[in-house]
């Protein structure tokens, strides 16, 4: 039995929770055991993870619990190591993850309302929970498993005030068999936000990274002094956005804050290991300027690729002063290798293969990614001007996030939509041109009030010479394995167009490595069909992490899709560079 009163007790024994966040969905499954062993060896007795809804139900009604999606295997591995689990299965998770974990298909309904008591939204949650929650129930502590806490929603106090919605989530989980204590987590520095996120009977916990005594005192004032105190997200690092410097924390301050937390209450390190936003899973905060990078290194206790850091050693020492650490041997052999320079074996531009890899949809008005059942990646709109009209002015009504515009397959301009304060204008142009608009989804916002505005591509219209332009051929470009397999690299290449570049290399041993995209400007990289994520030469990330399990002995293939048509060179190095 798990009881939360002035103290936390498990099976009648007072227990101090020292937990670390490991997101199974940001780590290849072959490395789950390694990360959990390192967590235990630092002195933690608990692991915490979110469950992203959109990771498991990417298409409505189609659930994936296999391979890297098998959260239940992750829980079982933790159990074998004697670790408790804090599970955070709320429909919204934030986590700097695409759309905060919400599935894109919710936005197919134009009237959708999120994170509130809107029936279609609640119905979708219930359908998802009917698949997920019964699978989690057997792993609860009172059923012989190791899950000790369930989070109801995530930082809801920042978002809204619909207490009926929060109660719906709790009641639905209870009706499906959840018997363990509930928790909520919010920032305790604003009383209204902290109280907005509360649910009667749930353990109210705080998210913060400093000023421990002040934060715990505020929580005590809000919820009363007779409850145990926990920092559910002890921020010992921070995430990065494109174009920003890489964030690092002050280790001496971290050490002081950790000692204060352990002295006063319970803690969950956010993050123990950050991992990687593989594919198109990185989210963004508010605007395009806050799009998150592919690496979720977070300046965490372990590096993105699971290496032990000085922060790990320092925290381990502090933890060891209050409890005995029982270490286990590390069972997974992991090494790094620089495979060196790669050779480009073929290249072709997007326009040469467009009709091969994507079936066009024709429409008198633009359709969004969501309208066409596409989650992430790119979408291209092609429109033909009348023989009497010139494209002297172009702007967009309700579009996102970034666009490359081509006239007769020559680039006119590229811009983030939020930077396009005025229309693109010029004095003269050819008449009757074909205009191509390649839109990129930077990632739907994961935090703040803009969740319901996250449809991608063109939601309104292209506005041509101050009137609406009608008539579009639309090409979906999710760049999944099926599309990559259809690329015919013999179709031709014209410099300056969005293009695919193919590289090959041989591997005699399988090691972690890092892809350097020197000279390329912006795009996405794939290794053996596996989407490593986005790269961008504005940094701060200069290399993409490739876990060894993605490679294979013998020939390996790397494909680069550069939206700017800038050809560079590739090499595989043995470290991440900021």
What are the tens digits of pLDDT across the range 350-403?
999 999 999 999 999 999 999 999 999 999 999 999 999 999 999 999 999 999
Give the pLDDT confidence score for residue 225 in this predicted structure.
Answer: 79
The rounded percent of the chain whose pLDDT value lies above 70 is: 100
Give the pLDDT confidence score for residue 331 in this predicted structure.
Answer: 98
Q: Is the pLDDT of residue 111 over 80?
A: yes
Q: Quickly tell me which residue has 């397959």 as its tokens.
A: 409
The rounded percent of the chain whose pLDDT value lies above 90 is: 96
Catalytic residue among 233, 304, 370, 564: 233
Catalytic residue among 98, 153, 155, 440: 155
Q: Is the pLDDT of residue 171 over 80?
A: yes
Give the pLDDT confidence score for residue 290 in this predicted structure.
Answer: 86
358 close to 475: Cβ distance less than 8 angstroms:
yes
**Which secondary structure element, helix H or strand E, spans residue 313, and what is its range?**
helix 310-320
pLDDT in tens, 260-300: 999 999 999 999 999 999 999 999 987 667 899 999 999 99
User: Buried b vs exposed e over 515-530: b needs ≥16 C-beta within 10 Å?
Assistant: bbbeebbbbbbbbeeb
CA atoms lying within 13 Å on the CB side of residue 200: 6
Residue 130 is among the residues annotated as catalytic for this protein: no
Q: Is the pLDDT of residue 220 over 80?
A: yes
Span 480-505, average pLDDT: 97
What does pTM read for this prediction? 0.97
Average pLDDT, the chain: 97
Give the pLDDT confidence score for residue 287 in this predicted structure.
Answer: 67
Residue 509 is among the residues annotated as catalytic for this protein: no
Q: Quickly tell me which residue has 């106090």 as its tokens.
A: 157
pLDDT in tens, 26-79: 999 999 999 999 999 999 999 999 999 999 999 999 999 999 999 999 999 999
Q: Is the pLDDT of residue 136 over 70?
A: yes
Q: Which of 5, 84, 20, 568 is nearest to 267 (CA)?
A: 20
CB atoms near residue 425 (< 10 Å): 11
pLDDT in tens, 310-365: 999 999 999 999 999 999 999 999 999 999 999 999 999 999 999 999 999 999 99
Q: Is the pLDDT of residue 167 over 80?
A: yes
DSSP 493: -
Q: Lowest mean pLDDT: which of 211-225, 419-433, 472-486?
A: 211-225
pLDDT in tens, 32-43: 999 999 999 999
CA–chain centroid gap for 550, Å, is: 19
């Amino acid at each position: 039995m798990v009881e939360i009163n002035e103290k936390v007790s498990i099976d009648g024994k007072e227990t101090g929770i020292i937990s670390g966040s490991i997101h199974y969905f940001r780590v290849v499954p072959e490395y789950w055991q390694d990360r959990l062993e390192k967590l235990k060896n630092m002195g933690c007795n608990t692991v915490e993870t979110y469950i992203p809804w959109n990771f498991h139900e990417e298409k409505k009604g189609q659930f994936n619990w296999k391979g890297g999606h098998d959260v239940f295997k992750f829980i079982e591995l933790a159990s074998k190591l004697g670790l408790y689990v804090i599970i955070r299965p709320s429909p919204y998770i934030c986590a700097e993850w695409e759309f905060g974990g919400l599935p894109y298909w919710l936005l197919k309904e134009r009237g959708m309302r999120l994170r509130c008591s809107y029936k279609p939204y609640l119905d979708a949650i219930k359908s998802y929970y009917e698949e997920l929650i019964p699978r989690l129930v057997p792993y609860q502590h009172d059923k012989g498993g190791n899950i000790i806490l369930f989070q109801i929603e995530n930082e809801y106090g920042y978002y809204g005030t619909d207490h009926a919605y929060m109660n719906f989530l709790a009641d639905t989980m209870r009706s499906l068999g959840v018997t363990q204590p509930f928790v909520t987590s919010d920032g305790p520095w604003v009383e209204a936000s902290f109280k907005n996120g509360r649910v009667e009977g749930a353990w109210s916990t705080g998210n913060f990274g400093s000023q421990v005594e002040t934060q715990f005192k505020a929580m005590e004032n809000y919820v009363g002094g007779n409850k145990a105190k926990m920092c559910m997200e002890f921020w010992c690092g921070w995430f990065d956005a494109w174009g920003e410097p890489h964030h690092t924390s002050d280790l001496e301050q971290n050490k002081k804050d950790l000692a204060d937390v352990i002295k006063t209450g319970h803690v969950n390190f956010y993050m123990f290991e950050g991992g990687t936003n593989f594919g198109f899973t990185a989210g963004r905060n508010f605007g395009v300027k806050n799009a998150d990078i592919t690496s979720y290194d977070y300046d965490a206790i372990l590096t993105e690729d699971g290496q032990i850091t000085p922060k790990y050693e320092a925290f381990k020492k502090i933890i060891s002063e209050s409890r005995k650490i029982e270490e286990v041997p590390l069972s997974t052999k992991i090494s790094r290798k620089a495979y060196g320079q790669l050779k480009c074996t073929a290249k072709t531009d997007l326009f040469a293969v467009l009709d091969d890899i994507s079936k066009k949809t024709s429409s008198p008005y633009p359709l969004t990614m969501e309208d066409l059942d596409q989650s992430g990646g790119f979408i291209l709109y092609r429109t033909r001007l009348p023989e009497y009209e010139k494209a002297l002015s172009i702007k967009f009504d309700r579009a996102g996030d970034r666009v490359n515009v081509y006239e007769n397959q020559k680039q006119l301009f590229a811009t983030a939509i939020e930077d396009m304060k005025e229309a693109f204008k010029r004095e003269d142009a050819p008449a009757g041109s074909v205009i191509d608009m390649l839109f990129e989804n930077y990632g739907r916002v994961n935090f703040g009030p803009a969740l319901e505005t996250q449809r991608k591509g063109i939601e309104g219209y292209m506005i041509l010479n101050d009137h609406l332009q009608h008539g579009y051929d639309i090409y979906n470009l999710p760049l999944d394995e099926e599309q990559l397999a259809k690329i015919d690299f013999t179709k031709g290449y014209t410099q300056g167009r969005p293009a695919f570049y193919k590289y090959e290399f041989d591997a005699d041993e399988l090691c972690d490595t890092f892809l350097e995209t020197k000279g390329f400007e912006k795009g996405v990289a794939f290794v053996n069909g596996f989407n490593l994520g986005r790269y961008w030469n504005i940094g701060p990330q200069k290399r993409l992490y490739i876990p060894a399990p993605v490679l294979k002995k013998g020939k390996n293939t790397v494909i680069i899709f550069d939206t700017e048509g800038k050809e560079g060179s590739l090499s595989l190095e043995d470290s991440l560079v900021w």
